[in-house]
Structures are given as C-alpha cells and as structure tokens.
C-alpha cells in the first residue's frame, strides 16, 4: 500500500474565483489537467494536503450563483451542483418526495461539514462510498455537465461512476446540476447505512425505491462503484408479501452482484452480513 504523508501546509497553487459559469468553463478549457475544481473543499483539501494532487490552478466554484440554484417543476427537481448540502436539506419537497436523498444527505458526515460540502462534490469525488450516490441511483437522477468545447450533456447517474474515484468527466467539464424526476404518487424510498462514527464513510450504504411499476435497490461501498439492482420482477409483478422465503429469493439474486473488499473499515464478510440485514429492513419498510 502507498504511504500517504499528511503535510501541515497546502502545496502552492494559484486560486482563481470566477463569478460566472462561462468564466469557469473558459478557465478550465485553458488549464485542463493543470486545474482542479473546488466546491466545499472537504475532499479536495485532504488530497492537496496529502500531495495526492498538485494542480497549478484551483478554480473555486463557490461564487457562481447559477451553480447554487434549486428549481422545482412538475417534471423534476434540479439542484445546482455547488449547493451546500445543509441548504438542500431545508427544501420541504426533499423530505416529502425524495426521502432516500434526504436521509442520505442528513447523515453525511456532521453538521459543520454539511455547511461546506456540496452534492456535486460528493459525486465529483466518485468514492464507492459516496452517500448521495445510492439514493440518486434509485431515484433515477441525471447529471448535467457543461464544457466550453462540447456545450451541455446529460448523463444518467448509473453511467457516471467508472471506478474507484473515477468518473466519465473529461478534464474540461463541470457538473452544473443534478436533475431528479418527480416520483409518481405512492412512490416510497429510503436510505440506510452502517458507519463507525459521524466522521467516517459508510461501511455499507443501501437505498431502495418502490412504486406500483418499479422496485430497485442501490448499494454503496459494496463494489468499486455504486450498484443499481432492479428487483421489479420479484416484487411488483409477483405481488407476493415479503416473507423470509421471498427475501431469500431476492437476496440470492443480489449476493453475486455485490463485490465488497476487506479494508481498514470492515471485512468483506461483515459488509455482506450488514448489507443483508439492511436490505431486509429497508425492503420491509418501503413495501409495508
């Protein structure tokens, strides 16, 4: 394993604070791989301090109003990528219609960190344990991305993560917002995770979504990227109650898809055990 040295100071870089998205995209287009984007900095500053990255330029996105707007229409909820998590939590519709997202953000780190950290940064880091990812997967979120050269594109979240801390952004692209369709009446969702302390990443995270047409689960920290598993055929079409035999049928489908690792936080065996317990609880809750 690579030895990580934590320095007390940051490496030298040029900090630039654009005031519009256009300006930020021009800067990124100019510096490309020599630049890093800064939102809340809760992940980025650690990487800088450990010298895991040494950019020439850091582009601070925090002063760009258009990246911090929240829009609700009949079709969707659109959250600006640089909106602090604490602000996302204050929108009533999040708790009413997107409970899994509310629960995942309300349990992300602690309150002080939630004032700084952003939802775009959580996706941007692309950790397999990113708390917002499981709920965004089951809620069918789309990631809106911009670059100077290619303009705008939209990618379903389940195509965005490509590996551990890897995603499909190219070096000139910025996540501008996250769009989530308004769930049909009667839809229910939930998120639960297991962690060692409020300052720790999830050992296992599970989100579930259910309505009369669809049932799916998403897992974080159980593979190099978050996973989405559709169990509509087992739940909606069969219309059977979730007794233990039914749960075992579903768990038999899920088990081979999960690929947890042994690491400093937990063993594979423990993660699998916790994933099974949480899956049973969350399914009962969402289907009741």
Ligand X SMILES: Cc1cc2nc3c(=O)[nH]c(=O)nc-3n(C[C@H](O)[C@H](O)[C@H](O)COP(=O)(O)OP(=O)(O)OC[C@H]3O[C@@H](n4cnc5c(N)ncnc54)[C@H](O)[C@@H]3O)c2cc1C
Residue 117 contacts ligand X per CB under 6 A: yes
Cβ distance to ligand X smaller for residue 58 or 77? 58
Tell me the window of 39-47, 86-94, 135-143, 263-271 that interacts with ligand X (CB under 6 A): 39-47
Q: Which structure tokens are listed for 95? A: 């708790």
Name 240's Cβ contacts closer than 8 Å, sequence gap at least 6: 246
Cβ distance to ligand X smaller for residue 226 or 235? 226
Cβ distance to ligand X smaller for residue 166 or 284? 166
Site for ligand X in 248-287 (CB under 6 A): none
| Stretch 71-90: interaction string toward ligand X, x if CB under 6 A | ----------xx--------
The number of residues that bind ligand X (CB under 6 A) is 31
Which residues in 170-261 belong to E strands, given as ranges?
Answer: 174-181, 188-194, 204-210, 215-220, 227-230
| Stretch 186-225: interaction string toward ligand X, x if CB under 6 A | -------------x-x------------------------
Residue 43 contacts ligand X per CB under 6 A: yes
CA distance 284 to 59: 45
Task: Decide: helix, strand or coil at residue 181.
Answer: strand
Q: Which residue sits closest to ligand X, CB atoms considered? A: 121
* Concatenated DSSP letters of 109-168: S-HHHHHH-BHHHHHHHT-TT-HHHHHHHHTT-EEEEEETTTEEEEEEHHHHEEETTEES
The only residue of 68, 83, 103, 122 in contact with ligand X, by rule CB under 6 A:
122
Q: Which structure tokens are listed for 270? A: 């423990």
CA distance 145 to 100: 23
Q: Which structure tokens are listed for 106? A: 């309300």
Residue 172 contacts ligand X per CB under 6 A: no
User: Contact residues for ligand X (CB under 6 A)?
Assistant: 36-44, 46, 61, 81-82, 108-109, 113, 116-118, 120-122, 124-125, 130-131, 169, 174-175, 199, 201
């Amino acid at each position: 394993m690579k030895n990580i040295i934590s320095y007390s100071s940051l490496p030298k870089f040029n900090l630039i604070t654009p005031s519009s998205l256009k300006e930020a995209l021009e800067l990124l287009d100019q510096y490309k791989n020599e630049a890093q984007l800064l939102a809340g900095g809760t992940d980025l500053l650690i990487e800088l301090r450990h010298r895991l990255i040494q950019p020439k330029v850091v582009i601070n996105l925090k002063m760009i109003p258009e990246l911090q707007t929240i829009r609700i229409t009949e079709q969707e909820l659109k959250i600006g990528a640089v909106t602090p998590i604490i602000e996302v939590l204050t929108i009533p519709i999040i708790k009413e219609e997107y409970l899994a997202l509310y629960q995942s953000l309300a349990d992300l780190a602690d309150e002080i960190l939630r004032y700084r950290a952003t939802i775009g940064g959580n996706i941007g880091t692309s950790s397999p344990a990113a708390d917002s990812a499981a709920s965004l997967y089951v809620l069918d979120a789309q990631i809106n991305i911009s670059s100077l050269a290619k303009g705008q594109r939209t990618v379903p979240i389940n195509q965005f993560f490509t590996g551990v801390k890897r995603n499909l952004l190219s070096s000139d692209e910025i996540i501008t917002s996250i769009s989530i369709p308004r769930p049909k009446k009667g839809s229910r969702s939930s998120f639960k995770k297991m962690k060692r302390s409020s300052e720790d990443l999830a050992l296992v995270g599970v989100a579930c979504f259910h309505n009369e047409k669809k049932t799916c689960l998403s897992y974080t920290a159980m593979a190099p990227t978050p996973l989405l598993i559709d169990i509509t055929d087992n739940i909606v079409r069969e219309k059977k109650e979730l007794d233990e035999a039914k749960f075992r049928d579903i768990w038999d489908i899920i088990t081979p898809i999960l690929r947890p690792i042994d690491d400093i936080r937990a063993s594979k065996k423990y993660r699998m055990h916790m994933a099974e317990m949480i899956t049973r609880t969350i399914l009962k809750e969402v289907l009741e």
